[in-house]
Structure 1
């Protein structure tokens, strides 16, 4: 990284004169619809900071006043005061440098260079268990990241999000154990509990500097299931408010500056056309989200106006309804926008509202919200309405619960269709001959913690009630065909087969690859890595024939990363039970295989291999089940760490 940009002092106003008669109003920030209303959260209020050039706002009366005949005149008057005040300051002191309007670089933030400062020391908070109560008010912009810098930041974001997701799964599982022991009450917001604990441990990112522009390591299209995740990674620092900004009381230049907004349709006057957004300011709504009073140019509204004035870019996160989310919605980062215009207008309810026009910067990646909606629209399309490039809509020939698509719009190569699709691994028959019967549990009504299969896992189930992997282990025992529990048992997650619509596609960068048409939540099961299992002796013969073999022993222990809470709990111990001997078998995929065989190799994968046993009792021959290490948006490529890959291509030969 070549430069970090701090904020100059651009205080355009002198200190306000104190007045005993001045009433400082309290207003509520722009509140977006909560994932789940938390009754135990206190209401956050912000105190506005008056300026001598602005009219003093008094407390809002209990009865809303009637709409003014010309509400736009108030905005024009205030805007003119801003311009005149700014010009007076420039003429009097000559200490304000503003670049031309066409220049995207703000005059409020200038390049800063310090050879003794390292990137990691500037923008990433330490992880030493230090409680962080307040965010920094210093504005910086991270620019000119080198590829290795971005990979480093991306790794930090992924690790932090993995802690959030796995810690949440841990607390959900703990809550499920105690649910029957407690009196009925409203379910707690586990995401708030996780975020608070991570904050106390100093695990929130970018707290020592307020980042303007892109957050290093966060990619356009990244999906978050909870608002608190946005706070943890520094993408949006407000748990409820739709406008995140540096308040005037904390700003070094005495003016508020907006850094990000969330667009989720919480205001009736919002208009979202994708690249252009008409965003309604905050304030003036009652508890039923109805506009009942005029909005004021203060706090977040003033911050957006100031960001427009100085040309400071704003991050945009969209909140979208999504059936696969536990809260019914997800949050997608869609990139950087600039505020190009603002005006005071009469809203649909008849009250004055501030509106801000935001235009997306060019040459950014495709918006994640567009991809999400496109993938969702494919569910209802007729066969003749699918985009060009889809060769078949189910290469599994209905062997999977959901179709596996095959897409190639690059060339005429249809090689994956020439293999027989194998939806489950073929083990040697002798594994089922010894001790296969009588090894199941007798939980007729459903498995509880006293289940014999749970005892094999160390006295607890590996999944929560939603099928999310709580913690990776060397081996997980699921209930099998000889168990008395029903097919809906919580301990039968991976054996149920595919539940997400996967797609094998042709890529110019990676050859064959795999992506999903559905949003895959972190910790959820994806599919099995299938093949025909060969013993050590058989594998040697097949190798001489040049057949494609996969060696499970070469997969790294990535399972240990999922649920690693050593930075949260001082007494955390890596799971060592049940232990298994080294895997000494191979899988032949030269003739029969499934969709997993086309996943690309990556040293920073988003999919892990978890060994699972359920249909026989030989721990030396487990199933290779694949789980998501992070939230994987639709159309994003799935990747595995194969350990030892082809030295020429960096991928297994079967993926070429």
Structure 2
């Protein structure tokens, strides 16, 4: 492999006026080698605040632990996200060492001296400049020698990952995100209970506090090594509601800056290397055409008016992008998009859109008359569809459900206006319209004896809304199961909502699932499931949000045994595993955490017949790693033997991503259950 070559000095750039004259087509612009001239020193400005919160709030919550540590006084454990005093073997993700052989990395033992040049052998995988005619991602290799005088971070890429290892990483990422979401949702509620009237100081937001708590517990991912390229367990199209979550999973490790990079002081070859960028339209000179991006460097901007007020300088992230271009190092692209499904004050969501290579870098005068650095990013072929494009497609479908292909839309609403939102039927594979031949059932049909045996008809006496200590709060263990936005705080054996005998109004905080479905779902034809059908949403579904009820006709066990003689079309609630216990499980944060056991519920001994009447939930496919779980809920009666089966999101689910549910049956049994995929 070639040795490390001297880096090109890019402080001298083409004459800006020459560059502008060649910029009639922004996608094909670039400097001409013959027009090089030295430009005056440029002074950068701070990046615009992206999430509209003050830096001091971040410092208060994170304790200055997010910013890049000084390599002279920061320990390796601190950089990896492991708190002082916590043994490495107790770190929750110490199993990372098990798959370390999958990382391509260079080690000092692999560097051979050859005269004045350092020549790496075939196993060293050192970063080397890539010739202009060869910029394929396969040529990107990382990490060189380590210096004993100071700590450096190892640059690594993941290659040849096995399916089982990818599943392992995906499970780790999803589990970490679930803990983060649980903390983000639950922490403000706990603070509200414990705060007194004298504590009027402004508290950091829930997402910042959650990130800080995970950081303290050593649960931030991918911090001990800086990964170049794709990160195991994070898929193209994954959606994040808050920017802080990008730090938690290691996708982008800057709180405000749009360019994430390993600084020269921590780089193994003493050159800054960029690893990811956020494209959010914050710079007026940006051009985003999906697969091709003209990305403006950072600095020199008035954050309030999004205008360039000073020249940019080739330093920091700008220099790191240029160095990554010379080395052929690809960058991850995350797009910040204004979206109505956002939960943050900035009204943005963040979508991971995959890997891009840096094809060109040049300097020119921007629209405001100040010098800016520009980078041409080209998306690498062979990746999944852009997540941002899927968001746009889902938005168009919400406006016009048949705009894409009217011949494949078999029905605009299979519920026939019975649901609050229409349920679309889409099939672009064949002519099957099976879901149209069932009677749509919005709520589970219980026998009359269920209501007669439901106990005392007693409800709360609240007038405006339920308050702490009311009758319904006591039934739920002296706490309300939902926050003000209708998000389930933690899973429980059963949730009691306010019912017909309660005096509280319909907008009460404790009335959520009984109001019906709010997300727009679609039943679609799928080649990947046993029954050929699947369910996806046209909206962003927040973690912990109610999706829909799993409906059917309730039968006793004896009745179900008789009907299954003609084929099993029954759903047995007692087979669903306790996935509800995973939502809100904070045992990794609090060592004394106890799984909720109250209110308790007896073993369920009934079945749901979906042979003639069913709803959209019956088409949700089976998965051992689901993104939806079943929560038992009571509201129209108090009979613990016959709860409603309500479905909630275990994670933030992007639009048009298929929903999945753990039915609790073995693979060899799914063929017998006609509606179980």
- Give your verdict on TM over 0.5: yes
In structure 2, the partner of 1:104 is 136
Q: Is residue 2:617 matched to residue 1:579?
A: no
**Deviation for aligned residue 1:299:** 0.6
- Identify which of 169, 172, 177 aligns with 1:156: 172
What is the match of residue 350 of structure 2? 331
Distance in 1, matches of 2:373 and 2:322, equals 10
**What is the root-mean-square deviation of aligned Cα atoms in Å?**
3.0
Q: Distance in 1 between matches of 2:452 and 2:668?
A: 40
For 1:619, which of 599, 622, 640 is the aligned residue?
Answer: 640
Q: 1:527 aligns with which of 548, 556, 578?
A: 548
Do residues 260 (structure 1) and 281 (structure 2) align?
A: no
Q: Spell out, residue by residue over 1:57-92, the C-alpha distance to the aligned partner (whole angstroms, 9 max, x if none).
A: xxxxxxxxxxxxxxxxxxxxxxxxxxxxxxxxx996
Take 2:505 and 2:155, find their aligned partners in 1: how far apart are those partners? Answer: 57
2:399 is aligned with 1:390? no
**TM alignment of 1:385-534, pairs within 5 A:** 387-434=406-453, 438-510=457-529, 511-534=532-555
CA shift, 1:109, in A, is 2.4
Tell me: CA distance 1:13–1:598, structure 2 relative to 1, closer, same or farther (3 Å). closer
1:282 is aligned to 298
Secondary structure at the residue paired with 1:302?
Answer: helix
Distance change (3 Å), C-alpha of 1:539 and 1:8: farther
Q: Is the 8 A contact 1:135 1:209 kept in 2?
A: no
Change over 3 Å in CA distance of 1:290–1:99 after alignment to 2: closer
- Shift, 1:450, TM fit: 1.4
1: distance between equivalents of 2:315 and 2:631? 52
Structure 2 match to 1:21:
none
Aligned counterpart in structure 2 of residue 352 of structure 1, from 371, 381, 398: 371
Local SS of the residue matching 2:307 = coil
Q: 2:308 aligns with which of 271, 291, 309?
A: 291
Selected match of 1:596 from 587, 611, 617: 617
TM-score between both structures, scaled by the size of structure 1: 0.83
Q: Once the 2 structures are TM-superposed, how far is the Cα of residue 210 of structure 1 from its aligned partner?
A: 0.4
CA pair 595-136 structure 1, distance change in 2 beyond 3 A: farther
Q: Give the distance between the partners of 1:103 and 1:415, measured in 2 at CA.
A: 49
**Cα 1:12–1:94 shift into 2, 3 Å:** farther
Deviates more, 1:438-447 or 1:368-377: 438-447
SS state at 2:57 partner: coil
Q: Distance in 2 between matches of 1:34 and 1:445?
A: 34
Q: How many Å separate the matches in 1 of 2:635 and 2:68? A: 56
Q: Which residue of 1 aligns with 2:38?
A: none
Matched position secondary structure for 1:331: strand
Q: Which residue of 2 aligns with 1:197?
A: 213
Deviates more, 1:615-624 or 1:170-179: 170-179
User: 1:10 touches 1:108 (CA, 8 Å); kept in 2?
Assistant: no
CA offsets 1:292-327 (integer angstroms, 9 cap, x no match):
211000010000000000100000000001112122
State the partner residue of 1:248.
264
Aligned with 1:357: secondary structure?
strand
1-structure distance, mates of 2:624, 2:592: 29
- Counterparts in 2 of 1:69-108, with a 5 A limit? 93=117, 95=119, 97-101=128-132, 102-105=134-137
Partner residue in 2 for 1:84: none
Q: Number of residue pairs matched?
A: 581
Q: 1:636 aligns with which of 645, 657, 671?
A: 657
Between the aligned partners of 1:314 and 1:384, the Cα distance in structure 2 is 34
Displacement of 1:387: 4.5
* 2-structure distance, mates of 1:651, 1:345: 66
Quickly say closer, same or farther: Cα 1:9–1:600, change in 2 above 3 A: same
User: What TM-score do the two structures reach when normalised by structure 2?
Assistant: 0.81
Aligned-residue offset at 1:39: 5.0
- 8 Å CA contact 1:535–1:584 kept in 2: the answer is yes
Residue aligning to 1:549 = 570
Distance in 2 (CA, whole Å) between partners of 1:99 and 1:384 is: 44
Range 235-244 or range 288-297, more displaced: 288-297
Q: CA offsets per residue over residues 92-126 of structure 1, 9 Å max, x none?
A: 646585443314247772599xxxxxxxxxxxxxx
SS at match of 2:645: strand
The worse-fitting range, judged by mean Cα deviation, of 90-99 and 375-384 is 90-99
Where structure 2 has 5 or more consecutive residues not aligned to the other structure, the ranges are 10-40, 71-113, 120-126, 145-149
Deviations 1:198-233 (A, max 9, x none): 011010011111000001000000000000110000
1:438 to partner: Cα distance: 3.2
Shift of 1:36: 4.0
| Distance in 2 (alpha carbons) for counterparts of 1:234 and 1:260 | 10
